Every structure is written in structure tokens, then in C-alpha cells.
Amino acid sequence: MKTFEGSMTALATPFRDGAFDEQAYRALVRYQIEGGTSVLIPMGTTGESVTMTADERARAVKVAVEESKGRVAVVGGGGSNSTAEAIDNVKRVRETGADGTLIVTPYYNKPSQAGLVEHFRAIARAHPGFPIIAYNVPGRTGVDMLPETVQRLCDLPEVVAIKEATGNLFRALEILEKCGERMTLLSGDDFTVLPFIACGGKGVISVSSNVAPRMMADLVAEARAGNIAKARDIQVRMNSLHRLLFVESNPIPVKWALHVMGLFGPELRLPLVPMSEPNASKLRDELRHLGLLKS
């Protein structure tokens, strides 16, 4: 079983004339691997998975698997607010040859903590032995998976890690306190990668690494090696980029950045709309400042 640690990228998804742009997606995968990304995460929030069909999502994961050629792990998003649909999604992810699946807590329904446990238990039972990264992002889903609930997930061997995206460092310490080394802690917040790793995290599932994979890989490597001063310098250098990539709803800014970098077309799917011109101008300037634009 491959390990899910290090600098991991929640891949954005390119579209051309309304359809999934496979060629551009392959180029993004190559850019990530060349930049030191350790794990690819297609079909998460950043990938606009909720606006894609089941067939499109499966194809995107398959392309990531094919293009990575076993060089890095691929963890395909399989989450849904319907447990039955999530089970079917994970079946499709497994069929692509992916190494695991990312399962977000059910959104909109607002299940109880007991309901969250049963959701993950049902998925694990349907797919024994297939690694699951649980994903807690209450700002998107309307439900917060508490540390006590994460502790209960330790009883499910399929749940190997948690992407914790609250940005709350005490939350990371609480999970570590309750789960020890049993549950791999992954940051879901680009702004706090260094302190999260200092609190026991093993890496990050990042948005910003779409555009700056080498910087994020270096940040994670230095932080995990205990080179705090070097890691801090990179974290601070990336602060402005993080702010601009989240100044509007993700993935609007990151897709625009990839477009001006020449990797993507500019398309989004409704209800997302293009980035406002003032923010787009600031983001372009920051990309140029970081040396991420060719001209």
C-alpha cells in the first residue's frame, strides 16, 4: 500500500468547449510530478467534481493514473452527500487503478456525528481493504467532524488518513491526542502548513501547489525535516499567493492562474464565473513576482 504523505495536490480540472480537456489535464499531471508533488488528488473540491458527471469524474481519475505511470500515488475523490452514491463513486475510482479515495463528509444533509461514522463505515464495508482519506471541511459542507468521531473512525482499517481543513491547529493536536500515529494527519489549509506539520501533520492536500508545486514540496520537506527557519521563509513567501488564490471561491482563482501560466483554458462551469478583473490583475502580478509566468 502506498503512503499518503508529503505535498499532495488537489488537482484543478480543465475544460474546453464545455468538455473535459484531457490533454491539458495530462500536462498538469506532468507539471505536478516534475515539481515534486507526492500524491495527486483528482476530483476533489478544486476539481469542480460536483459539476461533472460520474463518467467524467471516472475518466479524470483514470487519466491521472495513466499519466502518472506509477511514479506517484493517485487518490480519486469519491465523496457524495448520498452514502449509496459515494459507494458507487468509490467503485468507479477503484476500477481506474487509483491507490485510494478521498471521501468528504456529506454536505447539505448535516448528519450527526453518529451519522458520519455510519457513512464511513458503510463505504469501508462496501470496499474492504481500499484506503480512504476522510475529508473534513465544514466551511463547505455545513458539518464538522469532531476529534471524537475521528477516533471512532480508527476502528475502520480502510480509513488511513484525514484531511483536516478547518485551519484550527488545536484540532490537529486533539486528533493526534486521541488517535496517535494510527491516523495520518493531512492539512487542508495552505495558510498553516508549517504549524500543522509541527502539530503532527504528515503533509498537505494543497490548492496552491497546482501553480507552485516545487515551492509547496520544498515547504513540506523542510518542515518535516525540522528545518523550521527554511520552512518558515517559504511559508511566508507563499502567503500572498495563498490569499489571492482564495480571494474568490476556489477554484476560480487557481484556474485563472493556470490559464495565464499557459496550462489551461479559462473555462469554468456554472455557477462559477470568471475572476473579477481587479483580483485577476493582482494574481497575475504575484505569479510574475514568484517567477511562475514565462513572460
* Catalytic positions, written as ranges: 135, 163
Q: Which amino acid is at 186?
A: L
Residues 6+ apart with CB under 8 A from 169: 192, 195, 196, 199
* Burial class, 105, CB count within 10 angstroms (exposed 0-12 / middle 13-18 / buried 19+): buried
Give the containing element (helix H, strand E) for 65. Answer: helix 54-68
* Burial class, 74, CB count within 10 angstroms (exposed 0-12 / middle 13-18 / buried 19+): buried
Residues 6+ apart with CB under 8 A from 30: 67
> In b/e form, how buried is each residue of 127-142, taking b as 16+ CB within 10 angstroms?
beebbbbbbbbeebbe
Residue 238 phi/psi, 5-degree rounding, is -90, -5
The answer to whether the CB of 100 falls within 8 A of the CB of 135 is: no
CA dihedral 233, 238, 242, 244 (to 10 degrees): 130
Q: Are strands 15-16 and 203-206 parallel, antiparallel or unpaired?
A: unpaired
Give the containing element (helix H, strand E) for 39. Answer: strand 39-41
